[in-house]
């Protein structure tokens, strides 16, 4: 009888900055035996205000670094903007499985929807792409879908401003007219879960707030299992974080995102492109 195959290569995860750590945290909690390499393209954050062509180029460079240098067995695009515009090309370019966050987030939103509007809080790039609307319609959603670009939230999270008057007023400006219209709010940017506590204070209890990170980790687990890519049980995993700029900021902020011993995480600077 053939033994079940194992694959101890790391999982690759990338985002424009620190936001994708919210997805990485769910992955590590669900798959504690898996090693990971997270690439935060902090030199070029945010992606949400860039053109689609630029986001595609940046995404290809991040993915190439993870595949060629880290030898990852799967790519998780932990950036909604990159998932919205670059996922098809990434999937056709690389031989490893590529998983985005939008389909998982849309599916999670439908599971809690009561038939009212679904509001997507996201970057301008994600909203322009229409990716969430397309995903929801593919999944059978017939309700109203409201896209709301929130360009100031990523810079606030990157600076660690997730409490206090400024982020509260900023959030209120973006969502005040959604109260009474939407019964589901989708956090359509991986930075936004850091604002979840403030968001809950501004919304009625009946409004569901969806973070696609949990669903993305569950999808990843299924892909690894189906394709024989799970790591060998009982092994001690290794976690690395690569950043393209501001290592000190990542060292300071990562513990706020990750529920693991940061003493076991190696954080280092990498160059992935000759030009920004």
Instruction: State pLDDT tens for residues 102-151.
Output: 999 999 999 999 999 999 999 999 999 999 999 999 999 999 999 999 99
**Per-residue CA distances from 86 to 28, 98, 109, 260 (Å):** 24, 11, 22, 30
- Average pLDDT taken over every residue of the chain: 93
**Which residue among 62, 143, 150, 189 is the active-site one?**
189
pLDDT at 38 over 90: yes
CATH 3.40.50.1860 region(s) of the chain?
A: 11-100+214-269, 102-212
pLDDT tens for 215-270 read 999 999 999 999 999 999 988 999 999 999 999 999 998 998 898 887 778 999 99
- Cβ–Cβ under 8 Å, residues 122 and 149: yes
Instruction: Assess whether 79 carries a catalytic annotation.
Output: yes
For the domain made up of 11-100+214-269, the CATH class stated in words is alpha beta
**Which residue among 62, 79, 143, 150 is the active-site one?**
79
Instruction: Assess whether 189 carries a catalytic annotation.
Output: yes
CA pair distance 193, 42, nearest whole angstrom: 18
Q: What is the pTM of this model?
A: 0.89
CA pair distance 198, 157, nearest whole angstrom: 12
For 102-212, CATH gives 3.40.50.1860
pLDDT tens for 161-191 read 999 999 999 999 999 999 999 999 999 999 9
The two tokens of residue 34 are: 């898996």
pLDDT at 4 over 80: no
* pLDDT cut 70: percent of the chain above it: 97
């Amino acid at each position: 009888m053939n033994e079940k195959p194992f694959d101890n290569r790391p999982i690759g995860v990338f985002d424009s900055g620190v936001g994708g750590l919210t997805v990485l945290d769910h992955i590590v909690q669900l798959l504690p035996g898996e090693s990971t390499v997270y690439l935060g393209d902090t030199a070029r954050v945010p992606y949400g205000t860039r053109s689609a062509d630029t986001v595609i180029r940046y995404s290809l460079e991040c993915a190439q670094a993870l595949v060629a240098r880290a030898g990852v067995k799967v790519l998780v695009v932990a950036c909604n903007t990159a998932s919205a515009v670059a996922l098809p090309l990434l999937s056709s370019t690389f031989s490893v499985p590529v998983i985005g966050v939008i389909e998982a987030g849309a599916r999670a939103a439908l599971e809690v929807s009561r038939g009212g509007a679904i509001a997507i809080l996201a970057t301008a790039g994600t909203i322009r792409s229409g990716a969430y609307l397309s995903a929801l319609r593919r999944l059978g959603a017939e309700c109203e879908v409201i896209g709301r670009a929130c360009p100031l939230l990523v810079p606030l999270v990157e600076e660690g401003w997730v409490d206090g008057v400024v982020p509260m007023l900023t959030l209120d400006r973006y969502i005040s007219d959604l109260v009474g219209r939407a019964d589901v709010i989708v956090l359509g940017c991986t930075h936004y879960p850091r604002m979840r506590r403030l968001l809950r204070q501004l919304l009625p209890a009946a409004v569901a707030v969806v973070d696609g990170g949990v669903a993305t980790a569950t999808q990843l687990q299924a892909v690894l299992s189906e394709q024989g890519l799970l790591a060998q049980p009982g092994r001690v995993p290794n976690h690395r974080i690569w950043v393209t700029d501001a290592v000190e900021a990542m060292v300071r902020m990562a513990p706020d995102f990750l529920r693991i011993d940061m003493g076991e995480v190696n954080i280092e600077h990498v160059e992935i492109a000759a030009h920004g």
